């Protein structure tokens, strides 16, 4: 855990300074971790806002995967290349290491086959970036003690209509990443629009991880 903390806090805290007011704070951090001119695949790319930002500010060559019709059309209107596909079906359309970085933003918790999508991310790219709500956030425990499932900005759904089926804590994700051979290189955690640097497992609502795929050749 210490190595991950050091990797995350050694990078400049430049989210606010370089930010785009139209991007969520976790997407701004993700953008900082992507090398200029690299090849990026954004899974569940929504309206293509992240890829558009990366193209304009970091000159990436990007593509997105999105299932929703309206979001896909919005992405295309931004000039983003998009493939319409259900992520549960995997990434068989893409070759091994076809991309430098693959992004899965605030979607991991709604995947039925969590291990499969992480393995596929590691197959198609050297680096993977995932973000997800942190179920270890301390008010969640308080809600459960009061007999209620937690509801907040990061998890706004009621228990009966939530798309979130695999909620986890930071330690849960790190254990799974280690079991799959994914080497975590960076971690950022947020509570609202503030970045959290200590007791992140308890004090953060949202976690963002960057990992290196097994067998990647380091520069």
Q: Please write the tens of the pLDDT for every residue from 119-156.
A: 999 999 999 999 999 988 866 665 666 676 666 666 66
**Residue 133 counted as domain residue:** yes
Q: DSSP string of 133-161?
A: EBTT-HHHHHHHHTT----SSSS-S-TTT
Which three-class secondary structure state does DSSP give residue 2? Answer: helix
**Residue 218 counted as domain residue:** no
Beta bridge partners of 188: 208
Residues spanned by the domain of 7 = 2-212
- pTM beyond cutoff 0.75: yes
Structurally, the chain folds into a number of domains equal to 1
Residue 130 phi/psi, 5-degree rounding, is -130, 145
**Residue 219 counted as domain residue:** no
Indicate whether 203 pLDDT > 90: yes
**Residue 217 counted as domain residue:** no
**Residue 9 counted as domain residue:** yes
**Residue 94 counted as domain residue:** yes
**Residue 24 counted as domain residue:** yes
Strands 61-66 and 39-43: parallel
Q: What is the CATH number of the domain that holds 48?
A: 3.40.50.150
């Amino acid at each position: 855990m210490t190595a991950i903390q050091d990797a995350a806090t050694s990078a400049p805290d430049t989210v606010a300074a370089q930010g785009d007011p139209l991007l969520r704070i976790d997407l701004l951090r993700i953008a900082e971790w992507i090398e200029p001119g690299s090849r990026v695949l954004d899974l569940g790319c929504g309206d293509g806002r992240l890829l558009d930002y990366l193209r304009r500010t970091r000159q990436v060559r990007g593509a997105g995967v999105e299932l929703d019709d309206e979001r896909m059309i919005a992405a295309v209107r931004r000039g983003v290349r998009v493939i319409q596909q259900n992520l549960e079906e995997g990434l068989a359309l893409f070759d091994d290491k076809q991309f430098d970085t693959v992004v899965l933003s605030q979607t991991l918790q709604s995947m039925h086959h969590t291990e499969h999508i992480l393995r596929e991310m590691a197959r198609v790219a050297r680096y993977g970036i995932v973000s997800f709500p942190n179920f270890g956030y301390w008010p969640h425990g308080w809600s459960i003690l009061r007999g209620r499932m937690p509801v907040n900005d990061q998890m706004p759904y009621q228990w009966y209509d939530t798309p979130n089926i695999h909620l986890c804590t930071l330690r849960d994700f790190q254990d799974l990443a280690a079991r799959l051979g994914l080497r975590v290189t960076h971690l950022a955690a947020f509570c609202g629009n503030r970045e959290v640097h200590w007791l992140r497992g308890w004090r953060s609502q949202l976690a963002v991880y960057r990992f290196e795929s097994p067998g990647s050749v380091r520069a």
